[in-house]
């Protein structure tokens, strides 16, 4: 175990970043509401993944993720900062072949992963009850 008492007196070297240090720094930055990292526009790109209505628009569909909606203002701010610094911004989202050959069968039938998980949990509970009664 590395003694982390020196971390504020000198810069850490590769191999000295343990889990305790990383979690403490993340917690401090989260509590301050400011993350300290430098953006080098020549070596950096912002990748925005799946920030689409299906996940961000409230009550739009069963795949809505309320936390994604809450993060939109922060993501907008980060995008604006990256634009000001001329950092490339790459937007991605999932899409399927028009024939849906690459689509999960559950999605094809209108199911979401949460629906499948719920069915699995119900089946598990039912099977557990059946085995107890036998």
**Residue 26: what pLDDT?**
85
pTM greater than 0.75: no
Q: Are 81 and 41 in contact (CB under 8 A)?
A: no
CA distance 104 to 108: 6
Q: Per-residue pLDDT averaged across 72-101, rounded?
A: 87
Q: What are 102's two structure tokens?
A: 């690459």
Q: How far is residue 104 from each of residues 48, 61, 100, 107, 115, measured CA to CA in Å?
A: 23, 18, 8, 5, 13
**Residue 80: what pLDDT?**
93
Q: How far is residue 8 from each of residues 5, 11, 21, 35, 36, measured CA to CA in Å?
A: 7, 7, 11, 17, 15
Q: Which backbone phi and psi does 95 adopt, to 5 degrees?
A: -150, 155
- pLDDT averaged over every residue in the chain: 78
CA distance 87 to 56: 24
């Amino acid at each position: 175990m590395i003694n982390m008492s020196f971390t504020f007196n000198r810069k850490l070297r590769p191999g000295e970043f343990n889990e305790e240090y990383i979690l403490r720094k993340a917690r401090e930055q989260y509590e301050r509401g400011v993350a300290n990292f430098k953006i080098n526009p020549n070596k950096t790109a912002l990748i925005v993944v799946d920030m689409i209505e299906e996940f961000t628009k409230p009550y739009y569909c069963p795949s809505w993720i309320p936390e994604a909606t809450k993060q939109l203002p922060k993501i907008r701010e980060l995008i604006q900062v990256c634009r000001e610094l001329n950092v490339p911004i790459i937007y991605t989202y999932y899409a399927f072949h028009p024939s849906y050959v690459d689509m999960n069968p559950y999605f094809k039938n209108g199911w979401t992963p949460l629906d499948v998980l719920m069915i699995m949990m119900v089946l598990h509970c039912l099977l557990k009850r059946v085995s107890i009664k036998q």
